[in-house]
Amino acid sequence: MILDGVGLPGQVKLTQSSVVVVGAGGLGCPALQYLGAAGIGRIGIIDHDRVEISNLQRQILHNEETLGMYKAESAALAMKRINSELTVDVMAVALTADNAMSLLHPYDIILDCTDNVPTRYLLSDASVALKKPLVSGAAQKFEGQLCVFNLGTNGPCYRCLYPQPPPQESVGSCSELGILGVVTGIIGNMQALETIKIILGKEDQSPSLLLFSALGSPPFRSIKLRQRKPTCVACNNPGAPLNSTDYVQFCGGPSPDWVSEGRIAGLAGHRIQARELHELIMSSTVRPRILDVRPAIEYGICQLPESENVPLKELLSQPEKYIPSSATDLYVICRLGNDSQIAAEALRRMGRGACVKDVIGGLRAWSTVVDSNFPIY
């Protein structure tokens, strides 16, 4: 309240404002923490996922005591410890085209703290229809980005920048690619900052995209964006019902079922379930040859006994070096069952009559159906 340009009137504005955060994960947790601490009058949390132990390195509002709890509920408990007088709306439901308008309508500003493309398009279309600013953040590995969409009369929406979604195979999540936890903290805090600036009237309303690289020098750079795109289907038809679009299919279909199918269905007869491989190991007098195609840094975390590590890039550069004899079966495994399919197909193309099979769902499936104590990362 003693800051020039904020003062008591600014604090009153914050208290009288309402914000909804979609996603209480790596981005949502720091954003929620600082929005709550700043005294935002009403905060909504939308997230239907539950807290898992792998979340804790970056999702700072959750802890070991809230494992298995809905993230929205866990985050609300943590925020109440900071300020017991906060008004927090907990919505442990999935945001869909059918409920988005009703769930988002009561709030002044929307924060996109999700990690999947269909929800990004849905939130963008909803913010345009509701005429509300959308503070969008994203983070993967060592990098993050921040943008405020639909701000002011000519602010672009997400579709203005990305009329078509990227190919599904080019999009990865934190669970697939990994992430440095503090990166989500930086971007999430920046989302809270932009939200506060909008409420206080300190946002200059010049559209820009902020890029962050933890390993870059300098780590931040800003790209000036054009204003609203004249041909944008969302901005030019804000009254269109959201449920007229199948956002999942628009973005390439549902996410793969890693454990039961791997990334793609694959070829019949060229695949083996993790349980089948385990039974083969236990019943065979000669241990099957297992080729692990994960990067060496992942192989060093955990591996199946007597498996051989040949990283996928190395194998694809010289597949002929790793083709077994026709009398030897080869089983290829990786973390989730995607790289192993690529490797197995490359080996089969070399011929020579060898039997090469990939393990469906990879080591994630092994830890699920064979050995619950096998490390998950």
Active-site annotation, residues: 174, 334
271 assigned binding-site residue: no
Query: How far apart (Å, rounded) are the C-alpha atoms in residues 182 and 180?
Result: 6
Residue pair 165/117 in contact (Cβ under 8 Å)? The answer is yes
95 assigned binding-site residue: no
26 assigned binding-site residue: yes
Query: How far apart (Å, rounded) are the C-alpha atoms in residues 220 and 282?
Result: 53
φ and ψ at residue 241, rounded to 5 degrees: -65, 135
49 assigned binding-site residue: no
232 assigned binding-site residue: yes
280 assigned binding-site residue: no
Query: How far apart (Å, rounded) are the C-alpha atoms in residues 241 and 232?
Result: 16
25 assigned binding-site residue: no
- Helix, strand or coil, per DSSP, at residue 282: helix
197 assigned binding-site residue: no
- For 35-58, letters b (16+ CB in 10 Å) and e give bbebbbbbbbbbbeebbeeebeeb
φ and ψ at residue 95, rounded to 5 degrees: -75, 125
Residue pair 217/93 in contact (Cβ under 8 Å)? The answer is no
116 assigned binding-site residue: yes
Q: How many CA atoms lie within 13 A of 328 on its CB side?
A: 13
Residue pair 109/132 in contact (Cβ under 8 Å)? The answer is yes
φ and ψ at residue 147, rounded to 5 degrees: -155, 145
Q: Alpha-carbon Rg of the chain, whole angstroms?
A: 24
28 assigned binding-site residue: no
99 assigned binding-site residue: no
364 assigned binding-site residue: no
In the block, tokens 């902020």 appear at 210
Q: How many CA atoms lie within 13 A of 31 on its CB side?
A: 34
160 assigned binding-site residue: yes
4 assigned binding-site residue: no
Query: How far apart (Å, rounded) are the C-alpha atoms in residues 176 and 204?
Result: 37
Could you tell me whether strands 220-224 and 208-213 are parallel, antiparallel, or unpaired per DSSP bridges?
Answer: antiparallel
- Helix, strand or coil, per DSSP, at residue 309: strand
Beta bridge partners of 211: 145, 221
Q: Pick from 338, 180, 334: which is nearest to 255 by CA? A: 338
Residue list for the binding site for ATP = 26, 47, 54-58, 71, 115-116
Residue list for the binding site for Zn(2+) = 157, 160, 232, 235
Residue list for the binding site = 26, 47, 54-58, 71, 115-116, 157, 160, 232, 235
